[in-house]
Amino acid sequence: MHADSSSKPQIWQVAVILTIGVFAVSTAAIFIRLSMAAAGVQGVGFSLVVAALRLTLASLILLPAWRNVRRLQPSRRAWLYAIAAGGSLAVHFAMWISSLSYTSIAASTTLVTTNPVWVALISWGWWKEIPSKQTILGIAIALLGSILIAFGTAEAAESYTNPLLGDGLALVGAWAASCYFLLGREAQRQGMGVGSYVAVAYSASALVLLPLPLIWGTSYAGYPLMVYVYIFLMALVSQAIGHTSCNWAVRWISPTLVTLAILLEPVSASLLGYLIFDELPSVGVGVGAIAILTGVAIAVLGTRPRSA
């Protein structure tokens, strides 16, 4: 279904909304750190609480979209892809949020936004979408940047509890986000609309995450009020406003341009981290982040779109 050309926004309007979206997404790492500070705890158990509540609140916000799901009755394959995407999203948030307990905001957000590289590699292996030489070059540069970040956070080990573990968790989060993106693409190719897909995927993700803190032995209750305030703000600002704005922008401009814009997330998150927590990345992390952003940008620009 194509939007009426008369309702098409001006390019500057799209740019403004996309900028707001990227900035809103970049606040997630800040709200996570603030919730950890307010709770006085960190680690996997609390990270699972944050991830589960974030997705649950986002699912509640999207409850009205279920009317379209029932009305349009997507195919069984679309349902399966959407549910699998939700499972991948659950892994993404669990891993990435946990990474912020162990490594810097700059390292975590940079590594977790390398998903365009992994999407290209998975598409190559699974769908035989052969990457261009430019994409391969970008992947190589991004991987080099990842190594530099690993060394950079290792040098600053005294500042973080376990930086290499945090980097690894962020990288797994990027892999899970890549699967989420590809499975979501397939769900929509099977006829599920964007609104219906997001409602199903978020709900599936919330259902996967909700029991995990309890299994881990962590309670949802007993934290200071500000912990829940920060998580609510994360669901509202980072998820509902940030992710929705980026998804809206894809309707009007190239997905490549949107992906490139999202690469500004680590820059914005790192700046906020410095202003709020006085967290200044090491030289190694800074150089590695620049290498990753450059590599991912080259890879994205060199990606050949798959024919419909």
Amino acid at site 217: G
User: Of the ranges 98-112, 214-228, 259-273, which one carries the lowest mean pLDDT score?
Assistant: 259-273
Burial 287-307 (b: 16+ CB within 10 A, else e): bbbebbbbbbbbbbbbbeeee
Query: Is residue 7 one of the residues assigned to a domain?
Result: no
- The confidence score (pLDDT) of residue 170 equals 92
Binned at pLDDT 50, 70 and 90, residue 303 comes out as low
In a domain, 195, yes or no: yes
Could you read off the pLDDT of 145-170 as tens digits, one per residue? Answer: 877 776 776 555 556 678 889 989 99
Is the pLDDT at 261 greater than 80, yes or no? no
Of 120 and 215, the structure prediction assigns the larger pLDDT to 215
Number of Cβ within 10 Å of residue 10's Cβ equals 9
Mean local confidence (pLDDT), 168-192: 86
Alpha-carbon distance of 243 to 266, in angstroms, equals 15
| Residue range 42-56: mean pLDDT, rounded | 93
Report pLDDT digits (tens) over 90-142: 999 999 999 988 888 878 888 888 877 777 777 777 766 677 788 788 878 87
**Does 157 map to a domain?**
yes
Count Cβ atoms below 10 Å from residue 140 Cβ, excluding itself.
Answer: 14
The pLDDT of residue 127: 65
Q: How confident is the model at residue 306 (pLDDT cuts 50, 70, 90)?
A: very low
Q: Residue 3: is its pLDDT beyond 50? A: no
Name the band, by pLDDT with cuts 50, 70 and 90, for residue 231.
very high
Q: Burial level of 77, CB count in 10 A (0-12/13-18/19+)?
A: middle
Cα 33 off chain centre by: 16
Average of per-residue pLDDT values in the chain: 82
Please state the φ and ψ torsions of residue 73, each to the nearest 5 degrees. 50, 75
Tell me which residue range forms the domain holding 265: 14-301
Residue 112: inside a domain: yes
Whether pLDDT at 283 is above 70: yes
Question: Quick check: 180 and 193 in contact, CB under 8 A?
Answer: no
Q: Residue 132 and residue 302: Cα distance in Å, rounded? A: 6
> For the chain, how many structural domains are there in total?
1
The pTM assigned to this predicted structure is: 0.79
Separation in Å, CA 142 to CA 85, 112, 136, 159, 295 = 25, 12, 10, 25, 4
Write the pLDDT tens digit of every residue in 10-34: 888 888 888 898 899 989 989 999 9
Number of Cβ within 10 Å of residue 250's Cβ equals: 14
In a domain, 133, yes or no: yes
Q: Is residue 259 part of a domain?
A: yes
Residue 3, domain member (yes or no)? no
